[in-house]
Amino acid sequence: MHRLNVWKDELVAWFKTLASAAVYATLIVTFGFQVARVEGQSMAPTLADQDRLIVNKLAYRLGEPRRGDIVMLYYPINPEKSFVKRVIAEEGDTVRIVEGRVYVNDVPMRDDFVPPEYRSHDDWGPKVVDEGYYFVMGDHRNNSSDSRHWGFVPKKYIIGKVQLRWWPIPSAHIF
């Protein structure tokens, strides 16, 4: 009888541990971090198709997206889809693109991370980013559906900040 009670107590302890782990994991995934996969080439060469990412969902509960941040967001035209893009301009900024060169508040954006073959040659704007919104673009400027096409992104659609590319392991990188 004693062995049965010990075994039963051990089983209850294991169950409590597993239940606690499940609750913690759910809280972390819901409010803290999310694993995501890149689909497509719109962020090349920074991110490649099928890269695996860790997205920090707490980052923008505690702070605001900033120019240069790589973010995961709900696609404004169909919020059931999510995209990964780079924040180019914040609310109140004026964005203008001339022959593919991006200007924010009449200052050319430092974008040496975009190789010549990924640059577009389009013109856009100037437009002022509305309050509570952001202007985002993919790094593969001539192959990206972004704010140039579907407009500004409301802050509530920004899921979180891309913090880590963890797969493939040889190209793991902290952002």
Q: Which residues are catalytic?
A: 42, 85
Q: What's the CA gap between 86 and 153, in Å, rounded?
A: 12
Q: Determine contact, residues 38/144, Cβ cutoff 8 Å.
A: no
DSSP H helices, the chain, are 2-27, 59-62, 147-150
DSSP 3-state of 148: helix
37-55 in b/e form (b: 16+ CB < 10 A) is ebebbbbbebbeeebebbb
Q: What's the CA gap between 77 and 30, in Å, rounded?
A: 23
Joined tokens for residue 15: 């169950």
